Amino acid sequence: MRRLVGETTIRPRQLILPMFVSEEADAAGAPKPISSMPGVVQHTRDSLRAAAAKAVEAGVGGLMLFGVPSTRDAVGSGGTDDDGILNVALRDLRSDLGDTTVLMADTCLDEFTDHGHCGVLDDEGRVDNDATLERYADMALAQARAGAHWLGPSGMMDGQVGAIRRALDDGGFGDVGVLAYSAKYASAFYGPFREAVDSQLQGDRNAYQQDPANVREASREIELDLAEGADAIMVKPALSYLDVIRAASEVSSVPVAAYNISGEYAMIEGAAANGWVDRERTILEVLTSIRRAGADMILTYWAAEAATWLD
């Protein structure tokens, strides 16, 4: 009876797997475990190709790639360099996978900057929004040349979707889409991700990410991103923000994604490792809740594994 009347479904095609590729791990010839995210690694180019193929085989709808460079500078040069680790890995995956999955790239500078901020800094050490947009435009073009189908600007700069859209259109990449991180909160749950990308950040991102206390500004960010040409929008994190996902799904005229982030992953893996929760049931309950709240797509580190359960 439950099977007959269940309202919410999850299909593998609705899941997007975030993956990390590291220049250092690649040089060392072995993937490097991320201690705060048991089961997730910083990949080498080869191990990334193998894991991506497996995820696609399991039916995931997309892959979101993050690059971890071995050297960083103030402007995040590694992100715009055609030979930078992220762009090289995108080229590998696009040549292996073609159009069998939606290949996505994180369009943000924080992995590549030596100060760890998502943008470039002004003379007083503050993030310079408009100077950053120029860097994002260059980064977008490098990622489009490397074969990304969708770009995921995660830096929360004002005007980032419009700047990237214009650069893509002017560069002849009109068919490359933009998944806008519209409502991205300044969250403590990003902790494990900072380890995953060897983040250099001191301090916080409160000057550009949203206050967890607010929901109204999420609607405003969504409206702006839609006006700037977003093809899909995102709410992040997911679990403490199910109400925001609901609100977003009510106002958005494009598909809504939610990012089930690193700290949400770590909490459940930690509890499951201690035998405190049933791992598989908990994961499926979480993914179902995010879908029920209104997300069309979910970015989750469990995407490949959960896809095999769902099939």
Binding residues for ligand PBG, per CB under 6 A?
A: 106, 108, 110, 118, 154, 190, 193, 205, 261-262
Q: Which is nearer to ligand PBG, 73 or 251 (CB)?
A: 73
CA 196, CA 216: separation in Å to the nearest integer?
Answer: 31
Supply the minimum distance, in Å, between the C-beta of residue 184 and ligand PBG: 7
Whether the CB-CB separation of 29 and 264 falls below 8 Å is answered with no
Q: Say whether 32 is catalytic.
A: no
CA angle 236, 242, 244 (to 5 degrees): 70
Q: Which is nearer to ligand PBG, 159 or 174 (CB)?
A: 159
Report CA torsion sign: 166, 167, 168, 169: positive
Options 184, 205, 238, 239, the catalytic residue? 184
Q: Which residue has the tokens 């690193």?
A: 262
Tokens for 209, please give them. 């990410």
CA 35, CA 37: separation in Å to the nearest integer?
Answer: 5
Supply the minimum distance, in Å, between the C-beta of residue 7 and ligand PBG: 28
Q: Which is nearer to ligand PBG, 132 or 154 (CB)?
A: 154
Q: Which is nearer to ligand PBG, 102 or 118 (CB)?
A: 118
Q: What is the DSSP letter of 230?
A: -
Supply the minimum distance, in Å, between the C-beta of residue 108 and ligand PBG: 4
Helices of type H across the chain:
2-5, 23-28, 45-58, 77-80, 85-97, 129-146, 160-170, 191-196, 216-227, 242-251, 262-273, 279-293, 303-310
Supply the minimum distance, in Å, between the C-beta of residue 235 and ligand PBG: 13
Where is 20: in which H helix or E strand? Answer: strand 15-22
Supply the minimum distance, in Å, between the C-beta of residue 162 and ligand PBG: 19
Supply the minimum distance, in Å, between the C-beta of residue 229 and ligand PBG: 21
Distances in whole angstroms, Cα of residue 189 to Cα of each of 73, 85, 86, 163, 241: 26, 26, 24, 28, 12
Q: Say whether 236 is catalytic.
A: yes
Q: Which is nearer to ligand PBG, 136 or 173 (CB)?
A: 136
Options 72, 205, 236, 291, the catalytic residue? 236
Q: Which is nearer to ligand PBG, 112 or 173 (CB)?
A: 112
CA 147, CA 95: separation in Å to the nearest integer?
Answer: 8
Catalogue the active-site residues.
184, 236
